[in-house]
Structure 1
Amino acid sequence: MKALIPVEIIEKKILLIRCHKVMLDSDLSELYGVTVKVLNQAVKRNLSRFPEDFMFQLTKEEDESLRSQFVTLKKGRGTHRKYLPYVFTEQGIGMLSSVLNSQRAILVNIEIMRTFVKLRKMLSSNAELARKLNALEGKYDMQFKAVFDAIRQLMIPPEKPKRKIGFKRDKEK
């Protein structure tokens, strides 16, 4: 079965903000096929379903930092947001499908959840690889230390013989 939205597109929209993997309300509204206003109204009607660990509003600094990364902002009046954007964590995105109540929202949510699971698997495999590498480093550190110490000893230039102090006769030269 062909995915409604390719995983690669969803992956590009997942951001890391405040140590959470999140998606912007504008990106989610685009994926769900609704306006940002409709999405935020649905959320505000059901605020009890969205605690702070499910959804939070960006600060002005975070928003400006995010905007500086997008160089394709349109110029002109009415093209920028009036309010700071909201971002949704994985759990908040899961809750959105029950709030939006559309078949597309359900299908898009399934794809987003699959993407989050894929990213989590990739991160855990990287963490496992790092753990194994650290174990190997610890195991072989002493052996390599001996080798590196020997190399350092060989790199030290030999001491030059000291010149004797005093008068030298021609025969000694």
Structure 2
Amino acid sequence: MQIIKSIQSRIYEIRGERVMLDFDLAILYEVETKVLNQAVKRNIERFPEDFMFRLSLNEWESMRSQIVTAYQETPDLLSEIVIISQNKRNTNITPYAFTEQGVAMLSGVLRSEKAINMNIAIMRAFVDVRKILLKQNNLNEQLLEIKERLGEHDVQLNELYDAMDNMLDEKIAQLKWKDRERIGFKIKE
């Protein structure tokens, strides 16, 4: 379970897609980033744009500070390796981002037992993230439904208050008519 949580922390939202970056995958597969990227380039036909894309320089710059901060907050050996490897990285070359389908395709490119086992764990992490997002969407829908109901109840309550005010006004009007001082001729009975 710990490995899945570790993987989930490495799933980012970029361009509206949930992705993992090449250096994170290399650490998880226990290979160098260079080796992972070479394997991908040898099999580039397996990785269309919706499976893998290179980050723009702006995307990478905005992510770098977030990644280093996130890894510094969770101090462990892997975090230190990521920070060190990112300090060595050529800043002109941005990392590849792999979508869920791209990560699945990596299992066919990297054939070690470690890669296969890690790929299974990564797929489970993606599924867990999807479940969490579905639950969150369901809660958001329920909250909207409750707000709509409350709005309807407010309208109904206001109508009730108006009707009660009207009834009270009629009662007051009737009392005033009966309790008024009579003028005119008085007839004795």
Say yes or no: TM over 0.5. yes
Select which of 20, 36, 40 maps to 1:39: 36
TM-score by length of structure 1 reads 0.76
Select which of 36, 53, 57 maps to 2:54: 57
Aligned length: 144
TM-score by length of structure 2 reads 0.70
Cα distance, 1:68 vs. partner?
2.3
Distance in 1 of aligned mates of 2:158 and 2:37: 61
Q: Which one has a bigger Cα radius of gyration?
A: 2
**SS of residue matched to 1:81:** coil
Paired amino acid for 1:22: V
Cα distance, 1:101 vs. partner?
1.0
Cα distance, 1:81 vs. partner?
2.4
Distance in 1 of aligned mates of 2:5 and 2:42: 31
1:13 corresponding residue in structure 2: 10
Select which of 78, 85, 88 maps to 2:95: 85
Identity %, equivalent residues: 45
1:111 corresponding residue in structure 2: 121
* Ranges in structure 2 where 5+ consecutive residues have no aligned partner: 73-82, 162-189
Distance in 2 of aligned mates of 1:14 and 1:110: 15
* Ranges in structure 1 where 5+ consecutive residues have no aligned partner: 151-173
> RMSD of the TM alignment (CA)?
2.1
Is the alpha carbon distance of 1:33 and 1:148 closer, same or farther for their aligned partners in structure 2, counting shifts above 3 Å?
Answer: farther
Paired amino acid for 2:38: Q
